Amino acid sequence: MNVLVIEDDFRIASLVERALIEEGHRVVVSGDGREGADLLLTGQFDAALLDIFLPEMDGFEVLERVRTQQCKTPILVLTAVDAVPKIVRAFDLGADDYLVKPFIVEILLARVGAIARRVANHSEEAPETGSVVLDRGRRLALRHGKEIALTKKQFELLDTLMRRKGLITTREQLIEAGWGIQADVKENTLDVYIHGLRAKLEDQSDKGQPLIRTVHGSGYMFVAT
């Protein structure tokens, strides 16, 4: 993959660059947020690693700018801040995963690999299942023609469930889709997101049977109607 590393700490940037090159990736390093955002918006990268504390433009501003301009490059945030509100903010702004510094290089490489697999497995054409259609470009679900706005995580979770319609999707599979491999997600966090999805998708035609069914002890299942 072509990977962009946006990191102003020369020691960390060099370490990450060397590890990625050894894995066979092509790497470009940028030392400030504004330049990094400009590079991301060229569309030439398959993934990006983004520090939060950067000169010129911090990581949150970079995320906001590139996602507002419809840049869909997967972004893994590298941060020394492990405060939950900061991490949640990064996800809300469009981050695909995060890793707290100091990190183990092997875990970083595993997460980059997981991002690559998710990108490869998701075709540009979002799925259509029964009465629900996903619009990836606008990050919307449509049910019976009615547009339903979704957050990034809600979209990824619903996308994963719909691609596996009629099959059990485990909690682990959903957590990886929404938060990334090895993410430390509290037990009830996924349930809260699924509850929110059900509420948005609810329709009179459901007759009390939600599209996303709970499979106790296993996970969830999307049932087309």
* CATH code of residue 151: 1.10.10.10
Residues 79 and 137 in one domain: no
Residues 50 and 157 in one domain: no
Q: In this structure, how many other beta carbons lie within 10 angstroms of the beta carbon of residue 151? A: 16
Q: Give the pLDDT mean for 16-30.
A: 91
From 60, 88, 121, the end of a domain falls on 121
Domain count, the chain: 2
What are the residues facing 76 on neighbouring strands?
49, 97
DSSP state of 42: T
- Percent of the chain, pLDDT > 90? 33
Do residues 166 and 221 lie in contact, with contact meaning Cβ atoms separated by under 8 Å?
yes
Segments of 34-173 assigned E as strands? 47-51, 75-79, 97-100, 128-129, 132-135, 140-143, 146-149, 168-170
Residues 109 and 78 in one domain: yes
Higher-confidence residue of 187 and 53: namely 53
Domain CATH for 71: 3.40.50.2300
From 121, 142, 157, the end of a domain falls on 121
Residues 132 and 117 in one domain: no
**Domain with 152 in it:** 128-222
| DSSP per position, 96-129 | SEEEESS--HHHHHHHHHHHHHHHHHS-SS--EE
Residues, the chain: 225
Condensed to tens digits (0 to 9), the pLDDT of residues 101-145 reads: 888 899 899 888 887 766 655 544 556 676 888 887 677 888 888
Q: Give the pLDDT mean for 212-224.
A: 89
